[in-house]
Structure 1
Amino acid sequence: MERLTIAVHVPLGFHARPVSRWVSLAQTFQSHITVTFRDKTVDGKSALGLMALAVPGGAELEVCASGPDEQEALAALAGLASRSFSA
């Protein structure tokens, strides 16, 4: 299992558009992905779960991936976040 802390550099937080982009990317990987914010952990491939976290801008998420492509998954998701969730 690999872990990574990712900052949400989007002023409005982890709202519908960044969550949609995140989920689309996360679903391309075989690994199981989870996201933790304020002691609440959700499936990193679930838009509803991620939206329920209500992550504000500037917050940090702990992302875990477990599976055959875990390192690639975390690198890709970190890259997306570093681009402020732009495609």
Structure 2
Amino acid sequence: MAQRVVSIGFRSGLHARPAATFVQAAAQAPLPVTIAVEGKRPVAAGSMLGVLSLAVGHGDQVILTAQGEHAEAVLDELADLLGKESDA
């Protein structure tokens, strides 16, 4: 199992447009990915409601997890997306 801990770079946190961008990328991944914050259960990264339910703000850390072939590459791509400072 591969994991990445990422600090959210989006200025508005992982809400609305940034969440939609992330969820779309995660849903297109060739394997299931979960996202979690400390104190909450992991949710499917491809689920908009699940991601929004985490209430992740700018600078908060999330844990991405995936298992299977290409998991490392998938998590690298998603981590890069989340870590970029943007107003998306």
Task: Give me the TM-score of the superposition, normalised by structure 2.
Answer: 0.87
Q: Which amino acid aligns with 2:15?
A: H
How far apart in 2 are the matches of 1:51 and 1:21? 12
CA RMSD of aligned residues (A): 1.7
Q: From the superposition, tell whether residues 85 and 34 of structure 1 become closer, same or farther in structure 2 (CA, over 3 Å).
A: farther
Partners of 2:70 and 2:87 lie apart in 1 by 22
Aligned residues: 87
Give % identity: 29
Q: TM-score, normalised by structure 1?
A: 0.88
Identify the residue that residue 51 of structure 1 maps to in structure 2: 52
2:81 aligned partner: 80
Unaligned runs of 5+ in 1: none
Find the counterpart in structure 2 of residue 29 from structure 1: 29
After TM superposition, what 4+ stretches of structure 1 lie above 2 angstroms from structure 2?
82-87
Ranges in structure 2 where 5+ consecutive residues have no aligned partner: none
The offset of 1:38, in angstroms, is 2.5
- 1:17-55 CA deviation, whole Å, 9 max, x = no partner? 111111111122122111111322111111110000001
1:57 is displaced (CA, Å) by 1.1
**Contact persistence 2:8–2:84 (CA under 8 A):** no
Higher strand share: 1
Q: Is the aligned partner of 1:61 residue 2:62?
A: yes
